[in-house]
A and B are shown apart, each in its own frame.
Chain A
Amino acid sequence: MRALPFLVVAALLVSGAALVAKALYIPVKAEVAQVLLERAFERGVASGAPVKPWSWADTAPVARVSVPRLGASEIVLSGGSGEAMAFGPTALLDDAARGITVLAAHRDTHFEFVADVEAGDLVRFERIDGGAVTYRITHLETVRWDEFAYPTHADNGILALTTCWPFGTHTPGPLRRVAWAEEVDLRV
């Protein structure tokens, strides 16, 4: 009789602590990974080839995406796997020939800033090979995850930042927010 309450209390404390640790691990991992990725990216730009951020990584940085107005800057990883997305935005599609790039990241970590993106915002996309493109946000769209579609060909490059929608909720849903951006020529 005396052991039971003790066990319950202990179980609650342990599971609570475990849950907190598990939860905090996500943003911490996301932040720390970005620091490591940033370094790997810099080295990658210097060497001209992707560099693994840590020895056991199965993904490598391919680009840096930033929105100067919001002070947001994230390193983009290749491949759209769930594992990679824990560390940074991933390129679901990056087809230089057709000029279309689709990025995805979590709405509560790396792509939290997408909530504040507005039409007209400039987005900088620097590739590991040194090439950099500036896009301007043209419009925002909310679609179901299975109803998203991108143009197969566009005269100017197109970048889509996709993340879960609505912001501020914490349970998964079928809707996705897409910020569409079009390449702009800033050389003028």
Chain B
Amino acid sequence: MRRITLSLDRDALVVMLILGITALLAIASSTLSARPGHGTVAGAALDAAGDAVRMGGTTEQRPSPRLATTSEGGLILRPVSSGAVATDVPATRLGTDIVANVSGQTARVTVTQAFRNTSEQWMEATYLYPLPDDGAVDTLKMVVGDRIFDGKIKPREEAREIYEEAKANGQKAGLVEQHRPNVFRNSIANVGPGETVLVQIEFQAPIAQVAGDYSLRMPLVVGPRYIAGSANANGTLSRASLLAGSADLIAPTADPNMVARAGGGLNPVSITVNLDPGFAPEAISSPYHAVSVRGSGSTRTVTLADGAVPANRDFELRWSASGDAPMLGLFKQRHGELEYVMATITPPALERVGEAPPREMIFVIDNSGSMAGESMPAARRSLLYALETLRPQDRFNVIRFDDTMTELFASAVQASDSNIAAAKTFTHNLMANGGTEMLPALRAALRDRAPDERVRQVIFLTDGALSNEADMMEEINRNRKDSRVFMVGIGSAPNTYLMRRMAEAGRGTFTHVGMGEEAEDQMQRLLDRLSLPVATGLTANVEGGNIDFAPRDLPDLYAGEPLVLLGRTRHLEGTLTVSGMIEGVRWTRSIDLKDASDSDVVAKLWASRRIAEVEAERWSGETSHERADTSIEELGMAFHLVTSRTSLVAVDDTPSRPDGASLTREELPLLLPAGWDFDHLFGGRVANAADWQRLADAMGEEERQRLELPNTSTGYLLTLALGLLLFLAGSLGGLWWRERLADGLASRSLRQAAV
């Protein structure tokens, strides 16, 4: 009994000693940290560890203060987003029906938009909507009652004139224009009171394929975009010209209260996918919508389980091949004088022998206002997961941006425990706010301060809600050097066009991580693929023939990715040989072009790919703007495709609006993408936009003077808490000691009594 008491006493003593020492240390550190001024912080305990590393702990500090954010000038403030807020239920109501027929490696999609005029006026309505960025729109039909009017492809301005003329004449007219490769606008004129007009478009899109997994992604809403500031290198653009350049992306966002008032929901969409991949599809799933799947064998019909859904997030359908995925696909089509061919070749997936070589990973995370809501946590989780996977021999850095930016370290640092802890603290503290100025962050990420043999990977986590896409491509094309750029699309409706093209220009890949639970999972897949060997230096040659391939400059392939070659030739013959290097080993694959099977989509896919390539040449400065515009217009006209230079227009030949009846123009509001925070984006800030703008302009154009800010935290609450804790420990100790004293006295008097 006594022995036990004694040992307990000792334990208690040890605990108290430890408490005491901790307290003394805490006093020392809090005294130091409570001292104002921006000096170094001596190893403050607790969660200050991360900060300490940044403030003075290591030699990896930025060598001299820089004007990273502000010297970029321009609009440092958020012009909120592209459009205003619609608080009234629109007079023209829209319903959309999408039918996608997946056949082999391509999908033919029909999008039908029904414009119903619920008002007493004659209406003109326009609707801004997204399509897959690699889709090729080739058909427009306008349906009025039982009459169908086919759309014709025309150069952009001419199509606009035809439409405006018909509109003025009182004729019904429909117009499809492309504003970005993934953003289109339908306009429909002279819809009579109570009348419904259908606008139907059709497009062709390739099916995405990675390591036996296939997916069809159908975006349903264009998220509000940030109008970026002085993105151009010359930096002389005025606000007005910036807005003019992005005006085509501006659409009102529906106020959630209005959506609640609009009976039957605003912009409902129904989706049907007829799946015929050429093999029995397995593991059919739709991560963002509930679906029902019917059918057997190699065909399935997938419909939305709940009927119509609001158009507020991307629809995605995934499936995989049972057993071995076909490693090869070869299709041909004759179009006009020429023959077109599509070849899909997957290089063998090599297992890595031994450990992957040391890498330098630069993580760039978007914490702009559009990420507020569910996107920011997903981005944070993805980044935290990625930080966990770094090895001590790797180097890394973290850059965050909104309309300002911060580089965590001056340059990439060793992935030591303390540096990773600092990065985690930094990541945890990220809040979504402000505009989306990605260019400064991209520049910083591409700047390689210590070039060596390492593989350099730049990983962007963003929703891409910006409007100056071309500037990003230009920057990557110009300054990429040996870095590879990987895009991780966050949220319910990321800007896939930006993602895909940035990744393409940066010789990397692009992945969606979506939201919530999905984030870590998808991030893990991406990081796994990044650590596997890459097929580089790919070339494609045809023996006994001559083929004009798109892309001309073949990409690098990451594990499981297929090479999709689109080409055209006078006469399809010979042997196609693709070769490349995987981990220093040459890999070659030959196919006889005679084996190609017929397909009726190859020519359009070739044209669409070629257009994307012309755009890339435009950004990299290989082609002048004029020449790029000319070739895009030629391609659009020749293949009947909607492009940046060509539009589809359909006109009813008989006027329907009576003379004297006026026409009301209405821009249909878009739903806010799911998971976005409406109040954060628009709450109370819209009214003040003009004020910020004026100040932003003034500040942007002015020269700025740097000023170091002092440390302005006394941290007295922490000191107070520690003091109270010590006092409490002392009091408890005192109580214990008094009891022990009493015990001792009692036992002594007992012993005395016994004696």
Report the nearest A residue to B24, measured CB to CB.
A15
Question: In A133-188, which residues have CB < 8 Å from any B CB?
Answer: 136, 138-139, 141-156, 158, 162-164, 166, 169-176, 178, 180, 182
Structural contact, B406 and A144, CB atoms closer than 8 A? yes
* Across-interface contacts of B16 in A (CB, < 8 A): 5, 8-9, 12
A174 to B57, CA, bound (A): 12
A149 touches B728 (CB 8 A): no
Is B27's beta carbon under 8 Å from chain A? yes
A residues less than 8 Å from B714 (CB atoms):
26, 86, 106, 108-109
List the B side residues contacting A107 at CB < 8 Å: 712-713
Question: Of A27, A142, A152, which is within 8 A of B716 by CB?
Answer: A27
Q: How far is the CA of A112 from the CA of B726 in the complex (A)?
A: 27
Q: For A26, give the chain B residue with the smallest CB separation.
A: B716
Q: Are A4 and B13 also in contact (CB < 8 A) when A85-B710, A147-B65, A149-B707 are?
A: yes
A149-B733 CB under 8 A given contacts A12-B19, A23-B719, A139-B695: no
Residues of B713-749 at the interface with A, using a CB-CB cut-off of 8 Å, are 713-720, 722-731, 733-734, 736-737, 740
Question: In the complex, what's the smallest C-beta–C-beta distance from B28 to chain A, in angstroms?
Answer: 11
Chain A residues with CB under 8 Å of B715's CB are 108, 170-172
A138 touching B704, Cβ below 8 Å: no
Measured in the bound complex, the distance between the Cα atoms of B717 and A121 in whole Å is 28
- Whether A172 lies near B710 (C-beta < 8 A) is no
A163 and B718: CB pair below 8 A? no
Q: Is the pair A149, B406 in contact by a Cβ cutoff of 8 Å?
A: no
List B contacts of A130 (CB < 8 A): none
For residue B751, CB closer than 8 A to chain A, the reply is no
**Pair A20/B727 contact, Cβ less than 8 Å:** yes
Q: Assess whether B659 is interfacial by the CB under 8 Å rule.
A: no
- CB < 8 Å neighbour of A12 from B20, B54, B699, B706: B20
Contacts of A86 in B (CB 8 A): 36, 714
Closest CB-CB distance, B491 to chain A, in whole Å? 22
A31 and B70 alpha carbons, distance in the complex (Å)? 36
Contact A171:B47 (CB < 8 A) given known A23-B717, A26-B716, A151-B702: yes
Number of A-B contacts (CB under 8 A): 246
Complex A-B: 19 CB contacts under 8 Å = A8-B17, A12-B20, A12-B726, A12-B733, A13-B730, A16-B726, A136-B691, A139-B77, A139-B78, A145-B709, A147-B404, A148-B709, A154-B699, A158-B695, A162-B712, A172-B713, A172-B715, A173-B713, A182-B694
Residues on A with C-beta less than 8 A from B722 are 19
Given known contacts A143-B406, A171-B718, what 18 new A-B pairs fall within 8 Å (CB)?
Answer: A9-B730, A9-B737, A12-B729, A18-B723, A19-B723, A23-B719, A82-B710, A92-B707, A138-B692, A145-B708, A147-B69, A150-B705, A151-B705, A152-B704, A162-B712, A170-B713, A172-B55, A178-B709
Binding site for B on A (CB under 8 A): 4-6, 8-24, 26-27, 80, 82, 85-86, 92-93, 102, 104-109, 111, 118-120, 136, 138-139, 141-156, 158, 162-164, 166, 169-176, 178, 180, 182
Asked whether B240 is an interface residue with its Cβ less than 8 Å from the other chain, the reply is no
**Known A-B contacts A22-B719, A107-B713; A8 and B708 likewise in contact (beta carbons under 8 Å):** no
Q: List, in ascending order, chain A residues with CB within 8 A of B708's CB.
A: 145-146, 148
| Contacting residues, chain B, for A22 (C-beta < 8 A) | 719, 723
Give the distance to chain A from B384, nearest Cβ to Cβ, in Å: 18
Contact bitstring B276-302, A, C-beta under 8 A = 1, else 0: 000000000000000000000000000
- CB A13 to nearest CB in B, in angstroms, measures 4
Most buried by B among A16, A111, A180: A16
Establish whether residues A172 and B41, one from each chain, have CB atoms under 8 Å apart when the complex forms: yes
The residues of B that contact A19 with a CB separation of less than 8 Å are 23, 27, 30, 719-720, 722-723, 726-727
Contact (Cβ within 8 A) B33 A171: yes
Complex Cα–Cα for A120 and B688 (A): 7
Contacts of A151 in B (CB 8 A): 698-699, 702-705
Output the least CB separation between A38 and chain B (Å). Answer: 20
Nearest chain A residue, comparing its CB with the CB of B13: A5
Could you tell me the dominant secondary structure of chain A's interface residues? mixed
- Given A16-B725, A108-B714, A120-B684, residue A82 in contact with residue B695 (CB < 8 A): no
CA distance A107 to B685 in the complex (A): 25
Which B residues touch A166, using CB under 8 A?
429, 431
Interface centre among A13, A93, A143, A146 (most CB of B within 10 A): A146
Nearest B residue (CB) for A27: B716
Quote the shortest CB–CB distance from A114 to chain B (angstroms): 10
Closest chain-A Cβ to B230's Cβ sits at a distance in Å of 15
The residues in B between 32 and 66 inclusive whose CB is less than 8 angstroms from any CB of A are: 33-38, 41, 44, 46-48, 51, 54-55, 62, 65-66
- Cβ A106 vs Cβ B712 within 8 A: yes
Closest 10 pairs between A and B when the two form their complex, measured CB to CB? A19-B723, A16-B727, A12-B730, A16-B726, A146-B65, A82-B36, A171-B48, A13-B730, A20-B723, A23-B720
B20 x A11 contact (CB < 8 A): yes
Chain A positions within 8 Å of B24 at CB level: 15
Task: Collect the chain B residues with CB atoms within 8 Å of residue A104's CB.
Answer: 709-710, 712
Determine the residue in chain A with the shortest Cβ distance to B718. A170
Min CB distance A85 to B, Å, is: 5
Proximity bits, B419-443, A CB within 8 Å = 1, else 0: 0000000000101011000000000
A26 to B699, CA, bound (A): 37
Q: How far is the CB of A108 from chain B (nearest CB, A)?
A: 6
Whether a CB of chain A sits under 8 angstroms from the CB of B631 is: no
Interface membership of B68, Cβ < 8 A: yes
B755 is an interface residue with CB less than 8 A from chain A: no
User: With an 8 A cutoff between CB atoms, is B624 at the interface?
Assistant: no
Among A9, A109, A152: residue with most chain B CB under 10 A: A9
Find chain A residues with CB under 8 A from B740 CB: 5
Q: Give residues 186-223 of B contacting A (CB, 8 Å).
A: none
Which chain A residue lies CB-closest to B66?
Answer: A147
Please measure, in the bound complex, the distance between the C-alpha atom of A104 and the C-alpha atom of B714, giving whole angstroms. 13
Cα-based distance from A92 to B705 in the complex (angstroms): 13
Interface residues of B in 55-91 (CB under 8 A from A): 55, 62, 65-71, 76-78
CB of A69, distance to nearest CB on chain B (Å): 13
A164 contact from B77, B696, B711, Cβ within 8 A: B711
Query: A149 with B713: in contact, given A19-B726, A170-B718 (CB under 8 Å)?
Result: no
